[in-house]
Chain A
Amino acid sequence: MNSSSWPLWEVFVRARRGVSHVHAGTVHAPDAELALQNARDLFTRRSEGVSLWVVRSSDITASDPADRDALFDPADDKTFRHPTDFELPDEVANM
């Protein structure tokens, strides 16, 4: 069996209750259940997590780096999208 025969899986780990799953890395595995087991052995052996997700890497649709200007640059000059762009009225005591 060679390495190309097992698909790649993206692994997401939730560190503790209340926080999101965060991308941790990848594992090879023949199917989803064994991908979870391999991810458990690789990414949670030192109590790093309370929950695991795996998803086939081929099922991830990624943005193209060449589209960076079109996708992300227009946000730079729209400061009104940030809460710091607005002055807080004095009447609002706690915010």
Chain B
Amino acid sequence: MVDALLTYTLRNGDRALVLAQRLLEVVTHAPEIEEDLAVSNLALDLIGQARALYTYAGEIEGPTPDGTIRDEDHYAYWRDQHEFVNPLLVELPNGDFAHVITRQFLHDAFALPYWQAMVTSTDATLSAIAGKAVKETAYHLRHSQSWVIRLGDGTDESHGRAQAAVDGLWRYTGELFETDEVESDLVAAGIAADPTAIRDRWREIVAATFAEATLATPDDGPMQSGGRTGRHSESFSFLLGELQVLARAHPGASW
């Protein structure tokens, strides 16, 4: 159960950190400076969530052989690719703005019901983290949803780009709701949220948004997965390289 709780906490911390890293690549490339700011705000909220989850992971893991408790920087900077357990959706390389904001929407439509459910987790720390994350995520969803509606129901150009983003990203959404032995025991214990219930809520949000955006919902074909068990896409090593290079080149540096 301790191992399961650690993996579960890291999956959510990694989901937040890796998505934040992708969002930060957008900064200075968004259509307007206002959107640069919005995207960096989303990223900073996600980094805050990752920090809280990583700190908790250190407590769960307990003292290492040398007697220290691992801190949030350990999990962000000193783990290798196969030790990251985020869903593939959040690590996909950025495409155009429609791709970035659609990926964000598909994530946020999961994250909001997820954190809402986690408020009643029997794990006091996860419940407390959820209480803060719910408010942040409600705003994230409002922002990404607003954009999906405007792009989908905008010009022919924006509609085409938004639909292409949806079609390309759809096969990565299934992994968000996968349940393996790591999670099933935690769900039974009331620690983890039940992915089935979250999937229903996700479908409602996506359907309502796509209807307003005049976007077609793809059929559920074969789904890609692997990120949550440490099997990542090729581009992920470049993301990690950029994320970790400073900490690894100057261990212990602070500023």
A residues lining the B interface (CB < 8 Å):
1, 3, 6, 27-31, 33-34, 37-38, 40-42, 45
B32 at the binding interface (Cβ < 8 Å): yes
B146 touches A33 (CB 8 A): yes
Q: Which residues of A contact B33 (CB under 8 A)?
A: 28
- Report the interface size class on chain B: 10 to 19
Known: A37-B142, A38-B38. 10 other contacts (CB 8 A): A1-B31, A28-B33, A29-B34, A34-B146, A34-B150, A38-B35, A41-B34, A41-B37, A42-B37, A45-B41
A-facing residues in B142-173 (Cβ within 8 Å): 142-143, 146-147, 150
A-B Cβ contacts below 8 A, count: 31
Cα-based distance from A37 to B146 in the complex (angstroms)? 10
B150 touches A31 (CB 8 A): yes
A37 touches B150 (CB 8 A): no
Q: Which residues of A contact B31 (CB under 8 A)?
A: 1
Q: List 20 A-B contacts (CB under 8 A).
A: A1-B31, A1-B32, A3-B32, A6-B32, A28-B33, A28-B34, A29-B34, A30-B150, A31-B150, A33-B146, A34-B150, A38-B34, A38-B37, A40-B139, A41-B34, A41-B37, A41-B41, A42-B34, A42-B37, A45-B41
Cα-based distance from A91 to B147 in the complex (angstroms)? 65
Cα-based distance from A78 to B222 in the complex (angstroms)? 81
A73 to chain B, nearest CB (A): 40
Cα-based distance from A29 to B32 in the complex (angstroms)? 9
Cα-based distance from A41 to B143 in the complex (angstroms)? 11
Q: Which residue of B lies closest to A40 (CB)?
A: B139
Q: Which residues of A contact B146 (CB under 8 A)?
A: 33-34, 37
0 or 1 for each of B24-39: is its CB under 8 Å from A? (1 = yes) = 0000000111110110
B41 touches A27 (CB 8 A): no
Cα-based distance from A20 to B150 in the complex (angstroms)? 32
A53 to chain B, nearest CB (A): 17
